Structure 1
Amino acid sequence: MTELALIAGAGALPRLLAAALGEPFVLAELEGIRSEVVADPLCFRLERLVPFLEHLHGLGVRRVVLAGGVRRPHLDPELFDSRTAALVPRLLAAMQGGDDAALRLTIAIFEDWGFEVLGPDQVAPDLVPGAGVLTGAPSPQDEADAARAAAIVAAIGAEDLGQGAVVVQGLCLATEALPGTDAMLDFAARHRSLLPDPAPRSGVLYKAPKPGQDRRVDLPAIGPDTVARAAAAGLAGIAWEAGGVLLLDRAATLAAAEAAGLFLWSRLP
């Protein structure tokens, strides 16, 4: 019997967690979303959620980890079984809200069925850096930009909108919304010319969990791709709330930041 299931989405996080797990696990994936984990997945659809949960119980699963990016699926009314159909009002209400609302409902459903939901940091605590500057050296202007960005992220997070912001020379150039961090950084790169002084490398990407967020799911993450996009946007560095952000592929991320001349700062709130 296997007691742990990894419910995996897109991106590097599920692969890193799979490597960190010290026990056998069941890999499950939402139909249409392939993870980077090299294993045969158990595929499921939201329209058949209750039978999927029953199947996990039958396999002996008692604990689950939810990790990786998942886009909101289109639901087919004809595919619902009667018991999952009873969850439709809750599912639709949550999906019409922000990501945090949808994920809180996901956790609640798993817990209603007797599963213990673990956070990625409980499985692989080394993915969450402590406070300190990991590479580079933020300037006083960078520190001011990070503080302003942190206040902005707290404000948009309270509305369940996003977990990141880009502030350059005291000005907010972009905030994160449904399209995600990559889209925000690409937007910042395209619109840097709007700044009073767009030429010098300056500005900070800041990421943090939403206020009151259940940190077992959807912790913000930073990896080599984040560094590449931040560099392309002309930023001086990346800062985040210490203890609240996952640092993926740490060695590669630090090497990329050093090569691009960006600082990485795990900042105390």
Structure 2
Amino acid sequence: MTDTAIIAGAGRLPAALAAAMAAPPLVCALEGFAPQGIAADLVFRVERLVPFLRQLQDRGIGRVAFAGAVQRPRLDPALFDPLTAQMVPRLLAAIQGGDDATLRAVIAIFEEAGLAVLGVEQIAPDLVPGPGVLCGAPGPADEADAVRAAAIVQALGAVDVGQGAVVAQGLCLAVEALPGTDAMLDWVAQTARRPDPAGAKGVFYKAPKPGQDRRVDLPTLGPDTVTRAAAAGLAGIAWEAGGVILLDRAEMVARAGAAGLFLWARQP
């Protein structure tokens, strides 16, 4: 019997994380955010959080990992049990403080229930690559654009806005906000213009927010990101080494190689 549960949201990360584990985990999905490619063993609601935590304890779960995308669910006051209802003021205060505050509050609640919260890199380090160029070769102009993009992402993250930016020829073409990475890259593909059409094509850079708890909400890149970056006419994708999850690295490298893009895990 496993002692580890994945608290799963939407997308492919929960399945990738489960596949990398030595023993099959207990997969628990927030209602309305089913993971892709893996079935949930338990489905829970925020309004019944305390009974859910007790289910985990009763099953011998001592460790949990958060994986996948969720949005703030709509809460039904009629569904709250008395103990979870007592947490509402705490959760609402955290939500008003932004995503990072909300995640810190959620982690604290799980830890108070005696559950150790693990990061993806602790369970599946191969999903979070260290420094190195995986494909292609960034040139001096690309390196300069990556430095500029990293500074922009750090500034955005400090005010809890986003985790990505596109920079070409030293100019910021787009930043990631609530619509997400795909929307940002699609916008660049449709509208962005470089000052010098014959100059550097630009770099998409991704990194965690400064000071965030890296056990949850690490940025994620996948093959579709490569396809969109190519459609946006970029030279490549760079990210903070050790701070970004890669979904299907082999397919990312294959698509980047076919499109002539570089993939670079950059030392911060």
TM-score, reference length from structure 2? 0.96
Q: Distance in 2 between the 1:232 and 1:200 partners?
A: 17
Matches within 5 A, 1:199-210: 202-210=201-209
SS at 2:70 equivalent: coil
- 8 Å contact from structure 1 (residues 192, 198) kept in 2: no
Q: 1:201 to 1:148 in 2, by over 3 A?
A: closer
Work out whether 1:211 is the aligned partner of 2:210: yes
Q: 1:56 to 1:140 in 2, by over 3 A?
A: same
Work out whether 1:9 is the aligned partner of 2:30: no
Over the matched positions of the two proteins, sequence identity in percent amounts to 68
Equivalent residue letter for 1:230: A
**Displacement of 1:95:** 2.1
State the partner residue of 1:145.
145
Q: Distance in 2 between the 1:94 and 1:198 partners?
A: 46
SS at 2:75 equivalent: coil
Q: Mind listing any 5+ residue stretches in structure 1 that lack a counterpart? A: none
Work out whether 1:247 is the aligned partner of 2:246: yes
After superposition, the C-alpha distances for 1:206-244 in whole angstroms (9 at most, x for unaligned) are: 011111111111111111011011111111100011111
SS at 2:143 equivalent: helix
State the partner residue of 1:257.
256
Q: Distance in 1 between the 2:108 and 2:178 partners?
A: 22
State the partner residue of 2:98.
98
Q: 1:117 to 1:200 in 2, by over 3 A?
A: same
- 8 Å contact from structure 1 (residues 201, 234) kept in 2: no
Q: 1:179 to 1:97 in 2, by over 3 A?
A: farther
TM-score, reference length from structure 1? 0.95
**Displacement of 1:99:** 2.0
After superposition, the C-alpha distances for 1:103-147 in whole angstroms (9 at most, x for unaligned) are: 111111100111000111111101111211111111211111100
Q: Distance in 1 between the 2:76 and 2:44 partners?
A: 13
Q: RMSD between aligned alpha carbons? A: 1.4
Moved more, 175-184 or 141-150: 175-184
Matches within 5 A, 1:216-227: 216-227=215-226
Equivalent residue letter for 1:58: D
Moved more, 242-251 or 178-187: 178-187
State the partner residue of 1:120.
120
SS at 2:16 equivalent: helix
Q: Distance in 2 between the 1:24 and 1:250 partners?
A: 22
State the partner residue of 1:129.
129
- 8 Å contact from structure 2 (residues 8, 66) kept in 1: yes
Matches within 5 A, 1:223-238: 223-238=222-237
- 8 Å contact from structure 2 (residues 27, 42) kept in 1: yes
Q: Between Structure 1 and Structure 2, how many residues are aligned?
A: 268
Q: Distance in 2 between the 1:123 and 1:18 partners?
A: 9
Matches within 5 A, 1:143-182: 143-182=143-182
